Amino acid sequence: MLTAVQLLLEDDRITLAATDRYRFAVRELTVQPTGTLPAMTPKTGKKKDKPADGAVLIPAKFLAEATRAMTGEHPVAIGWSDGQLTLTTAGSSIGTRLLDGNFPRHRGVFPTPADAELTVTVPTNEALAALTRVALVASDKTPVRLTVTDDGGQLLLEAGHGDDAHAVDRIPCNTIGHLDGGTIAFNPGYLADALKAVAAPEARLHATSATKPALLTGHSGDLADTDYQHLLMPIRLNG
């Protein structure tokens, strides 16, 4: 399951979801479905159950390789039957065997923006650039710490401390609410991956606490881009 991307078809919407236990990414797309879904066994909670109707598990490595091979702007047809999936586009067709297993639920489990104690909106590119700079002194064991200034107008990104290498950067932000403790920390690589996947000029971080999963979404003008959601597990800080 951790090596797969779940594809769920519902009417004219496809939902792609993937997780590695520390983060969970979900992307929704509008499609033009044709044909009918194959009949599958309803879920009963047993380990060997098949996925629900319209849901399949695709090897993530296959999707990554297929994405690199199918370059350019053109429609891609996705079809599956009898445990096989095929991606077809102009002049090429790539197939793979589907995986078996149960994929964790995200609907009803993800926190919603309304659940957040603190919502921070930042320019996506500026946030990624600042993160790249401070991450030069960070590692998996030295996370990047995010702190909103007292006036709520800037987000501080900080890595390292004490006698170690230390880096601090700041970017403009808009904030709603307040987070107990004031600081939340993340694996810099995971946070960078999440920001790179936001296809919007602004990114919004919705945090409920410094120790519970935070939700990252896109934001454009007055509209929230909820088609992409990225759940990140913070790193607990000592002291």
> DSSP states of 130-149 as a string?
HHHHHGGG-BTTBPEEEEE-
Give the pLDDT of residue 45.
40
Name the residue with tokens 């599958």: 40
Residue 107 within a domain: no
- Its domain, for residue 180, covers 113-232
Sites in the chain below the pLDDT cut of 70: 35-53, 140, 162-163, 221-225, 239
Point out the domain boundary residue: 40, 70, 97: 97
**DSSP summary character for residue 203:** E
Residue 213 within a domain: yes
3-state secondary structure of 2: coil
Closest residue by Cα to residue 112 from 39, 172, 26: 26
When divided into structural domains, the chain yields a total of: 2
Cα–Cα dist 81/98, whole Å: 9
Point out the domain boundary residue: 72, 97, 122: 97
Do 158 and 125 share a structural domain? yes
**Measuring CA to CA, how many Å separate 19 from each of 136, 172, 193, 216?**
26, 30, 13, 15
Residue 186: count other Cβ atoms within 10 Å of its Cβ: 24
Give the pLDDT of residue 52.
44
Give the pLDDT of residue 112.
87
Please, which residues have CB within 8 angstroms of residue 43's CB and are 6 or more apart in sequence?
49, 50, 51, 52, 102
Give the pLDDT of residue 205.
96
Do 187 and 135 share a structural domain? yes
Do 164 and 214 share a structural domain? yes
Do 85 and 21 share a structural domain? yes
Residue 77 within a domain: yes
Do 126 and 77 share a structural domain? no
- For 46, what's the count of Cα atoms within 13 Å in the CB-facing half-sphere? 6
Point out the domain boundary residue: 97, 130, 148: 97
Do 222 and 189 share a structural domain? yes
Residue 102 within a domain: no
Cα–Cα dist 216/83, whole Å: 33
Residue 103 within a domain: no
Do 217 and 117 share a structural domain? yes
Residue 134 one-letter amino acid? V
Give the pLDDT of residue 75.
84
Cα–Cα dist 117/91, whole Å: 50
Do 218 and 125 share a structural domain? yes
CATH of the domain at 65: 3.10.150.10
